[in-house]
């Protein structure tokens, strides 16, 4: 049986749910993808970007406490986060997710 995402240090039930929504079904799959690809997929599935969530994921995949990221390492992670966020936003081409996507597909204008 596959280990849940929440079996990774720092990650809990909320990340289990977010990953499931993004099609990431196990800790093994998340480890194989790596933090950057997984976070990009999470954003594309509709998760709102949050820097702390990103670096908690990075630290967890490294087996480190979530608050172990400091100084230059944290600055470098911020640059990676910003790049992932920008790439995900450009990849979505403004296409809404969730109920907004469904409403758009059936021709109902999503509420702005």
Q: CA 80 to CA 36: how far, in whole Å?
A: 8
Length of the chain: 112
pLDDT at 93 over 60: no
Give the residue with greater pLDDT, 69 vs 34.
Answer: 34
pTM, full prediction: 0.79
DSSP 30-77: HHHH-HHHHHHHHHHTTPPP-HHHHHHHHHHHTT--GGG--HHHHHHH
CATH number for the region 5-105 comes to 1.10.150.20
C-alpha–C-alpha distance, residues 70 and 50, integer Å: 17
Residue 1 confidence (pLDDT)? 83
């Amino acid at each position: 049986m596959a280990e849940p995402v929440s079996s990774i240090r720092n990650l809990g039930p909320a990340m289990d749910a977010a990953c499931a929504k993004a099609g990431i079904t196990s800790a093994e799959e998340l480890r194989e993808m790596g933090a950057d690809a997984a976070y990009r997929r999470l954003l594309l599935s509709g998760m709102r970007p949050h820097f702390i969530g990103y670096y908690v994921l990075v630290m967890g995949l490294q087996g480190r406490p979530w608050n172990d990221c400091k100084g230059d390492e944290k600055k470098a992670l911020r640059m990676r986060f910003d790049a992932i966020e920008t790439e995900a936003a450009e990849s979505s081409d403004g296409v809404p997710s969730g109920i907004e996507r469904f409403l758009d597909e059936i021709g109902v204008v999503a509420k702005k």
